[in-house]
Amino acid sequence: MIKKEYQCFRCGYKSKKSNVQNHFKRATICKREITCSYTDEEIKILNERQFIKEDYKKIKNGNIAEIINIETQNQTINNIQNQNNITNNITINIDKIVGFNDEWNIEGMSEKHRTNLLITNVMYTQLLTIILENEFNKNVIIQNKESTHGLIFKKINNEKQYQEISIDEIIHESMIKLHKQLFTIYDSHLSTNDNYNNDKSFDEHVLKQKNLTSQKFDEFLNDKKIKNNVKDVIQKIYIENKDDAILNQKIIMKNKDNFENGY
């Protein structure tokens, strides 16, 4: 008789039942493997359900979606609907997903958000929060606050791929991009002839805002304590957006499969 093989749907670890069950009892959470495109909730379901005989068969036959869909029907119906909608429009949407190696898309940002950014002194976190309201900008997956590495979605020419890089690198690159985009927003305000421009004191405020933004960026680069604070805040924002980022990963992986199968 062939021994049944079980697995961890997060890290990909495969072994016999007792080993896999021990793996789940570990105090520290294992690392998401690069090809894993399940949300935490889906991982939990699959990790548990594989020990049920009928479900084990379904999983081995590749009917994973069936198990996830049944279990999550009530809790995350919106997610699944979203997923289906997005999957239907796969060819349109997949190209809209921004690579982390490119700038985030801020074209559709509301006037209200833009104005807020001219005023707030937490401009970096506020801009990132606004950016991640756009589903196509969600290109970073960070598991939790203990993670030392995360996944980024990368686009080079037509090649679309996920890559594992250190959290430090993710935060550093994010800050560079945010800094640049904040300046674009300030400069765009200063060069536009709208009502605000009659108000010279507001322009002066925006100039001060530019200085403050640069000052904060320098502090981030040079002050270790500030760097760590920034890291915590930004990491937290990415973690909050993790499930949607995984949804994008699912779509990209699915599209890749279709492509590789010649559809």
Q: Does 11 bind Zn ion (CB under 5 A)?
A: yes
Asked if 34 touches Zn ion (CB under 5 A), the answer is: no
Residue 66: CB minimum distance to Zn ion, A = 22
Kindly state whether residue 10 participates in binding Zn ion, applying the rule CB under 5 A: yes
For the chain, the farthest-separated pair of C-alpha atoms sits apart, in whole angstroms, at 83
CB of residue 254 vs Zn ion: minimum separation in angstroms?
Answer: 23
Question: Which residue number, 32 or 231, has a Cβ lying nearer to Zn ion?
Answer: 32
Shortest CA distance to 126 belongs to which of 115, 136, 138? 115
Q: Residue 156 in 3-state DSSP?
A: strand
Residue 142 as a binder of Zn ion (CB under 5 A): the answer is: no
- Kindly tell me which of 38 and 217 has the beta carbon lying closer to Zn ion: 38
Work out whether 32 is an interface residue with Zn ion (CB under 5 A).
Answer: no
Nearer to Zn ion, 30 or 190 (CB): 30
Q: Which of 7, 15, 30, 202 binds Zn ion (CB under 5 A)?
A: 30
215-244 burial string, b = 16+ CB within 10 Å, else e?
Answer: ebbeebeeeeeebeebbeebbebbbebbbb
Rounded (10°) CA dihedral 79, 80, 83, 88: -140
**Cβ at position 170, least distance to Zn ion in Å:** 22
Nearer to Zn ion, 17 or 256 (CB): 17
Q: In terms of CB distance, is 10 or 189 closer to Zn ion?
A: 10
Q: Which of 2, 4, 7, 8 binds Zn ion (CB under 5 A)?
A: 8
Taking CB under 5 A as the criterion, which residues in 67-106 touch Zn ion? Answer: none
Nearer to Zn ion, 28 or 74 (CB): 28
Please choose, out of 12-20, 167-175, 182-190, 241-249, the segment that lies near Zn ion by the rule CB under 5 A.
12-20
Confirm if 11 and 46 have CB atoms less than 8 A apart: no
Cα 191 from Cα 188, distance rounded (Å): 5
Question: Which stretch, 29-37, 78-86, 141-149, 229-237, contacts Zn ion (CB under 5 A)?
Answer: 29-37
The closest of 5, 36, 40, 105 to 239, measured between CA atoms, is: 40
Which of residues 8 and 68 has its CB atom nearest to Zn ion in the complex? 8
Rounded Cα distance, 129 and 33, in Å: 26
User: Are the CB atoms for 78 and 118 separated by under 8 Å?
Assistant: no
The CA distance from 83 to 85, in Å, is 5
Quote the tokens at residue 58. Answer: 């379904």
Q: How far is the CB of 19 from Zn ion (least distance, A)?
A: 11
Q: Which spans of this chain sit near Zn ion (rule: CB under 5 A)? A: 8, 10-11, 13, 30
